[in-house]
Structure formats: C-alpha cells, structure tokens
Amino acid sequence: MITVGVEEEYLLVDPTTGVPSPMVEEVRRTAGLGPFAERGEVQDELLQAQIEVATPVCWSLDEVGGHLLRLRHAVAAAAEANGCRIAATGAAPVRGVLRVPVTPTPRYLKMEGEARQLVDEQLICGMHVHVEVPDPQMGVAVLNRIRGWLPTLLAMSANSPLWDGRDTGFASWRTIVFGRWPVSGPPPHFDGIADYERRLDALVASGAIADRGQVYWQARLSDRYPTVEVRCLDVQLRADDAVMFAGVVRGLVATAIAEEKSQAPLTVVAPELVQAGTWHAARYGLNGTLMDPLGVPHSSGDVLSALLRHITPALKEAGDLREVSALVHRLLRGGTPADRQRRALADAGLPELIGLVTGAAMTE
C-alpha cells in the first residue's frame, strides 16, 4: 500500500462580514494547546489570515478522513474561541479595505519586499496531496505521467469563484492569482531526475526565485518527504471531497508507477496544451468541456469517466474503488464547490455564502 498525506489551508474570517481576520498566531496557539491537535499539525502561512493543517502519514482513506475532520474541528474551535471562523474556500470572497499583514518570518518578509502586490493578494487556499514514491527517479517519471491529468483535477476541485464580493467568471480564481508567480502552473516534462535537479538549480541560480520552495508547479517532488506533491487543488468545502482527492491522486500515482515499471509508452503533451487546459479548467470547472490528458476536448463527464477507468485497477488494489467512485459521481451530479458558492450567493446573498464556507468545515 502506498502512503498518502494531505495538507489543507483555510482562511480566518470575521463571522459576520467574511473579511479576513489576521488572527493566525492566536488561533494556532489555541489549537496547538488543545486536546485534538498537536502543535506540529497546525502551521501559519504567508499571510496572518491563513492557517494550514497537515495530516500524519496515512495508509487508508479512512485515516485521511478521520485526521482531516479532527484537525478541521480543532482549528475551527480555536478560531471561534478567538472571535473568528475558518473558511474552507479557495479565495477570499471579500477582502476588506485593510491589507492583511504578512507572517513576520524572514522568508515571508523577503517575499513581501520583492512582490508586494502579489503577496497582498495571496488570500487564497489550496489543498496538497503527498503520495509516497520509491525514489526520486520514479518520482520524476510519475510527474511526467500525471501532468496531463492536472487540469482535470483542478476542474473537479474548483472552489474559488468570488473575489471582492463579485463573481470573477472563473470557477477557480485561486489558480489565476497563484499563476502570477515566476515558477507556477503545470510542470514541464523532464528527462529524468538529473534533468529535474538541473532545472531547479538553474531557476534558483537565475535569481527569479529565492529557493526551491518557490517552485510552485502544480505537481513537484517534495524536498521534505519521499513523495510526489500534487498542488493544483483548491481547498475543499467538504472533508469527504478532500478524501476523494486523496484517493484519486494516490490512484494516479500508483497507476503511473505501474506503467513506468511495465515500460508503457508515454505520449508527451505539449506544454502549451497543458497550460491551455489548466486555464480552461480554472475558467469553467465542470460546466462544459475539459481537455483530456492529450489536450483533446471532451465533455466533463466523459473525461471524469476516463479518469476513473484509468485508475480503477489502482483503486481496487487499495480498496478505494467504491468510495472514490461514489464521491466522483456525487460531484458530477451536484457540481463543484464553486457551483455551491454561486448558488448560495444567488439564493440569499453574502450572509448565506459566508455561512456556507465557514459552516462546511465543521459539518461535512
């Protein structure tokens, strides 16, 4: 069994207005001292209105779900104790008139000095899935084989349609905001681990980024763990949808490992097609067509069905097929979290929307 772990980022917001609240130190201190979260499982982020949780290494999706619910409840309770709430949304629906301070670490302060406007607008939250790989060489092979599926994962996860109180027209505005950093978006194809390392070293040497941690590709090798880290996902309203993505991403990685071991042929998709597919997925979510891993447009339902067929053997081997399939079909029927945000805003305005994004973390 291949291990998996999940990181989730949340916004801290005023419970009435939804405006981001720079309370991360107070909330983290409260959560870390509570009975349901250890100090290392709750971390600060770039801005003081963001907070991150990380599950331990997990063997099963049940473990992932249990840890995510435990951590969501711990952080939500700590936020309420400090007069704010956590919001499980990929972008701040409203931002307020005051800028949110940067978390005062040397690294974050340096980023602020170099890209003030980008940092000020980094009120976005993602979900990262780490999946174990046997070695870095295989990790690079996995990156090559899953990169064509990243737009599909992004479309499925879309949960950030609103910004400054208005509909952006994008299902994942977070993707557009995050894509303005120097090294972001889908990763390129690599000619093995030596090529991967050479290109990362060249990026750092260029001075465009300060360190390898600023390589914000949507999938990369982790520098801290023996994992592939998939980073294209918006944070999810529901914890069980986050579990679904953990299962899907693990299935993709396991399938890629099996294909690489069997020397299955790989079609290298042109980077401009993967980039175009990413923009299209961020724009429309599942409301229309999606580009398949070869860059060919199909209906969203057809592409998700192809994804499930592609990873079915891996899901069966892990015992995840029934759970993941049911959650994917629910997503197709009910729409993305971005669709739920838009419906809430249309039905009852901003109060309903704030209730949705702050209540889902506690109840779903």
* pLDDT range class, residue 39, cuts 50, 70, 90: low
Task: Provide the percentage of residues in the chain whose pLDDT is more than 90.
Answer: 92
* pLDDT range class, residue 220, cuts 50, 70, 90: very high
Choose between 357 and 31: higher pLDDT. 357
pLDDT of residue 9: 98
Of 9, 219, 218, 241, the C-alpha closest to 125 is 9
pLDDT(36) > 90: no
Per-residue pLDDT reduced to its tens digit, 268-296: 999 999 999 999 999 999 999 999 999 99
Per-residue pLDDT reduced to its tens digit, 141-197: 999 999 999 999 999 999 999 999 999 999 999 999 999 999 999 999 999 999 999
Q: What is the DSSP string of 18-55?
A: --B---HHHHHHHHHHSSS--GGGEEE-SBTTEEEEEP
Q: Which domains does the chain have, with CATH numbers?
A: 4-363 (3.30.590.20)
- Helix %, strand %, coil % for the chain, to 5? 50, 15, 30
Residue pair 321/307 in contact (Cβ under 8 Å)? The answer is no
pLDDT of residue 34: 72
pLDDT(361) > 60: no
Per-residue pLDDT reduced to its tens digit, 235-279: 999 999 999 999 999 999 999 999 999 999 999 999 999 999 999
pLDDT(362) > 90: no
Mean pLDDT computed over every residue of the chain: 95
pLDDT of residue 97: 82
